[in-house]
Structure 1
Amino acid sequence: MLRWYKPVPFSKLHVTDVPDLPGVYVLLRDPADISSVLKIGPARSLRSMYERELAIPDKGRGLHPQAMMFCETWADAEEAQRLIVAYRRKHGRSPVMNSQW
């Protein structure tokens, strides 16, 4: 069973709140709403992924994530794929930022 951390808002103040370990991350549009999933993905370093997303400027598309939720796991790619499949099964589509189009 995966142990999920509470959503961490994107801010330079919270960089150290994210561990430098492999895991699965979920980008959220709204930190207060864990159902506002934009992307699910694997990360060899959750902190590096957080810093990368933090550095991307919002271009007014409305798809810029506001928070990242994550869990630590060594099987990051497999867990991410499993979560994407479960999301697709429930919602009939992949998360917006996981879509190829």
Structure 2
Amino acid sequence: MLRWYKPVHLSKLRMTDVPDMPGVYVLLREPDDISSVLKIGPARSLRAMFERELAIPDKGRGLHPKAMMFAETWADAEEAQRLIVAYKRKHGRPPPMNSQY
């Protein structure tokens, strides 16, 4: 069972709130709405993934995440795939930023 952390706003001021550990992350459109999932993915370093999201410019992106929630796990890729499959089963499609189209 994964232990999820509360959503962290995508801000340089919050970078130290994210551990430098492997895990799975969920990018959210709205920080207060955990159902506003944009992307689910694995990360060898949750903090590095947080930093990468901060570095992506807003222009031309269409969907812009405002927060990230995460869970620490060594089986990051397997957990992320499991979560994507569960999301797809519930919603009939993968999260918008996980889509290949």
Query: What TM-score do the two structures reach when normalised by structure 1?
Result: 0.97
Question: Which residue does the alignment assign to 1:97?
Answer: 97
User: How much does 1:57 deviate?
Assistant: 1.1
Query: 52-61 vs 37-46, which deviates more?
Result: 52-61
| Residue identity in the other structure for 2:70 | F
Query: What TM-score do the two structures reach when normalised by structure 2?
Result: 0.97
Is 1:57 matched with 2:57? Answer: yes
Identity over aligned residues, as a percent? 85
Q: 1:44-84 CA distances to partner (integer Å, 9 max, x unpaired)?
A: 00000000001111115441100000000000000000000
SS in 2 for 1:74: coil
| Residue identity in the other structure for 1:83 | L
Could you list the structure 1 runs, at least 4 aligned residues long, displaced by more than 4 angstroms after superposition.
none
Structure 1 unaligned runs (5+)? Answer: none
Question: Which residue does the alignment assign to 2:6?
Answer: 6
User: How much does 1:87 deviate?
Assistant: 0.1
> 2:28 and 2:63 mapped to 1: Cα distance?
9
SS in 1 for 2:54: helix
| Residue identity in the other structure for 2:99 | S
